[in-house]
Structure 1
């Protein structure tokens, strides 16, 4: 083969490989765009300005969704904003604002829109919103996001007492359990705010909660139990991917902010255990939104370890879902179950993050 033919052959191979890379990137981006359109078509009610909980009208007992799915939507909108540059997060926040509840001991977000009667308040719902806003703050430097997160932090700390050695309750007014799902994101929010403000009290709070969770709710393999009962201290040993994800990411923030290598080592232990337990079969063990929180931690780990094996294992599960769990209306989920907004918001976040990682 002469020199010109060799060059032509090499150029063709390079073009094909580049095209494959672009298609991989485009695939997740296109799936995210399609899912976002399906969510708007199946869940958003333009006449009321609220999202609905379920895609099937007969399953919606109330005219508006509870808050939890919107915690997923605001984070998904943040990732889509990162991906496309198009403003999205403020629209989510304008809907969430309807859930704002000023009751004592501190303002926070209720589980149901206040104009429609309001509802109980859950500390983790508030924390997820704060985390999304802090992600947006680091990207945009919009002080409004920081101030709203500061308010959420103040509300979350009303959940603390020394029963069972410390930790944050899960639901306001029900002093029956302290959960990883209210302490893990609480650690992350405190660390995000410490990163933004350098107020050492925030780091102290994060370390206090971190030590408590690891004392009571970490298992021997580096996964995390769901909750501890108050006052009996009975442990609910169910293990969910989002709980493990928040504690992995807590370690990564601690390593990033303190430089102490022990936190990175612990994050890697958790990454290995979580990948085997939650992704080992090639299909998700948990719901999409739970796994979206786990993906946040794997993505964060890439800042310090470029090995993409956990992202690759996660992608296998996503591809499995896209192949086997697509509904005719463009939503995703097990074929024998109806689609709810929280699950779709989780998959939307996942697809947006994977599209960005494939760039």
Structure 2
């Protein structure tokens, strides 16, 4: 290479660091994250799935399983299946022959609750002892179903998305000026975790149907969430209490993830640069806050939701710094948190299904990323 060309290349790399992680070259095929994904998928089925009942266990250690209302909750809450459902969707993107979403929906159907005003999903298995209906749990199911519809055009996925949309809107009212409650049995708070995903469900329904009412609803919830729960640094608080309007100021990665992806969807739908500009600002703030250290601040599943937003943003912002920052923490988790069974201890040391579903989704997404981009060697 001529000296002048070499100097120019170095200068370009310094000015545009994203060039260091260019598109994957033909023939590059390390697949280290795919191998980790397949290993974890196998371990989850071996250790968390009970073939006798057909249900998944909530945690592996039976002494850690919750007793609620005098009843042992041996099997998993719906939340964990939300994580597993999205993971199966990401695996199907990698392997078109994999038929994983259908069986997962059948498992989720055990939580279906037809109670008025609109049917939805209970947080626990209906024929054992049904619990409460959380709007966010239902929304995670809707998000995955609508992801699946966008990919396959399977109308049953759109029907499921519509069911979730109709249910979540029973949780919307004008208390505090708008917003969706956390669950249908309590009106004590309106949370980012039930409004950010609500925006996504509405935006995905708009993309699927082109019906303006869905976009109108999405913007209504989106604007309210930004007004009430956005932090000065561009992240998101956890909740606002209806009693006095006080703010629960915990800051979790999944809340920032849903709102960041909402900005990306709105740019995708409208073409308005203001949404992409703000998405980039939020991504920068989240990168510093959540991935500035050497390990994940939150549980794996919370981080999986923020990774969804980073991966979506990558379509319009080619700088790989968000993926690389996330990768540093992911590699540390694989290196330090995995045991001899191929399972993960998690932040609290308890091996539960929701965090394993979250890690499975993360690994599936990185398996896709490593097949399309050069993200350097796996550091584990």
Q: TM-score, normalised by structure 1?
A: 0.93
CA shift, 1:283, in A, is 1.0
CA shift, 1:236, in A, is 0.4
Count of residue pairs brought into register by the alignment? 341
| 1:303 matched to 2:315 | yes
Q: For 2:235 and 2:216, how far apart are their aligned partners in 1?
A: 23
Q: For 1:174 and 1:56, how far apart are their aligned partners in 2?
A: 31
8 Å Cα contact 1:279/1:313 also seen in 2: yes
Aligned equivalent of 1:36, options 28, 41, 49: 41
Q: How does 1:219-238 map to 2 (within 5 A)?
A: 219-238=231-250
CA shift, 1:32, in A, is 0.3
Aligned equivalent of 2:85, options 59, 64, 74: 74
Stretches of structure 1 lacking an aligned partner (at least 5 in a row)? 1-16
Q: For 1:59 and 1:182, how far apart are their aligned partners in 2?
A: 27
Corresponding residue for 2:59?
54
Aligned equivalent of 2:95, options 66, 77, 84: 84
Aligned equivalent of 2:124, options 108, 112, 124: 112
Corresponding residue for 2:374?
none
8 Å Cα contact 1:184/1:247 also seen in 2: yes
8 Å Cα contact 1:163/1:231 also seen in 2: no
CA shift, 1:22, in A, is 1.7
Q: For 1:52 and 1:19, how far apart are their aligned partners in 2?
A: 42
CA shift, 1:59, in A, is 2.4
* Larger relative contact order (Cα-Cα within 8 Å, sequence gap ≥ 6): 2
Corresponding residue for 1:329?
341
CA shift, 1:334, in A, is 4.0
Corresponding residue for 1:353?
365
Q: For 1:306 and 1:279, how far apart are their aligned partners in 2?
A: 19
The one-character-per-residue Cα deviations of 1:29-75 (angstroms, maximum 9, x if unpaired) are 00000101111111100100100100223323423211000000000
Q: How does 1:1-359 map to 2 (within 5 A)?
A: 21-23=28-30, 26-60=31-65, 61-85=72-96, 86-334=98-346, 337-359=349-371
Q: For 1:260 and 1:48, how far apart are their aligned partners in 2?
A: 50
CA root-mean-square deviation: 1.4
CA shift, 1:271, in A, is 0.3
Q: For 1:78 and 1:71, how far apart are their aligned partners in 2?
A: 11
Q: In structure 2, do the counterparts of structure 1 residues 241 and 22 end up closer, same or farther at CA, with 3 Å as the change threshold? A: same
Q: For 2:265 and 2:118, how far apart are their aligned partners in 1?
A: 27
- The structure whose residues are more often helix, as a share, is 1
Q: TM-score, normalised by structure 2?
A: 0.88
Q: For 1:18 and 1:196, how far apart are their aligned partners in 2?
A: 33
8 Å Cα contact 1:241/1:293 also seen in 2: yes
Corresponding residue for 1:5?
none
Corresponding residue for 2:21?
none
8 Å Cα contact 2:346/2:355 also seen in 1: no
3-state DSSP of counterpart to 2:243 = coil
Q: For 1:33 and 1:57, how far apart are their aligned partners in 2?
A: 26
The one-character-per-residue Cα deviations of 1:319-344 (angstroms, maximum 9, x if unpaired) are 00011111222111348612100000
Q: Which runs of 4+ in 1 moved over 3 A?
A: 17-21
Q: For 1:266 and 1:334, how far apart are their aligned partners in 2?
A: 32
CA shift, 1:20, in A, is 9.4
CA shift, 1:305, in A, is 1.0
8 Å Cα contact 1:35/1:348 also seen in 2: yes
3-state DSSP of counterpart to 1:237 = strand
